[in-house]
Amino acid sequence: MTQRRTFVLLDGENLDATLGSSVLGRRPHPEERPRWERVSAFIEQQWEQPVTGLFFLNASHGAMPTSFVQALLALDYRPIPLSGSAEEKVVDIGIQRTLDALRDRPDADVVLGSHDADFAEHIAALLDGRRVAQLGFREFTSTQLVMDGVEQFDLEYDVRAFNAELPRVRIIPLADFDPDYFLR
């Protein structure tokens, strides 16, 4: 019997764009970038099985961010630099194809790191008894990715993937409200 494994598919463009434009309103400083090794460790602890991290990159302009790729490799992520025409959303297409290929692997659980509704149909097709999750910033996640059977993990609040607190405003369930946090 094959051991269950979790595949973490990260849409680097989507997560980075959301962090920069929607959360910070500017380019993130190094301490404001996610620590991807924390994502793998969190998922491995939550689901108690090995994790394979796949980080999708757009390399259509012919350049590859070599230092970033080296950092991903050092963190045991598999960088997937894709290229295509200007009309093709290469990262989305690559992730969609990977999600489709995972349907043939019943021993594979899946975590999608993206806010993009373009993956909703592919995620829904994986809801066949396996564990499936979406990872990102809850307030920016497409409502199409919020469905029964899909766990939701917040990069900051659940995973604690950042070294710095981000300037986010979120709805706080009353049971979780800590007034001392706001009285600092």
Rounded alpha-carbon distances, angstroms, from residue 1 to 87, 103, 107, 108, 157? 42, 18, 9, 13, 35
Tens-place pLDDT, residues 86-143: 899 999 999 999 999 999 999 999 999 999 999 999 999 999 999 999 999 999 999 9
Q: Domains of the chain (ranges plus CATH)?
A: 5-182 (3.40.50.1010)
Tens-place pLDDT, residues 32-57: 899 999 999 999 999 999 999 999 99
- Rounded to whole angstroms, the Cα distance separating 152 from 45 reads 15
Is pLDDT at 1 greater than 80 in this prediction? no
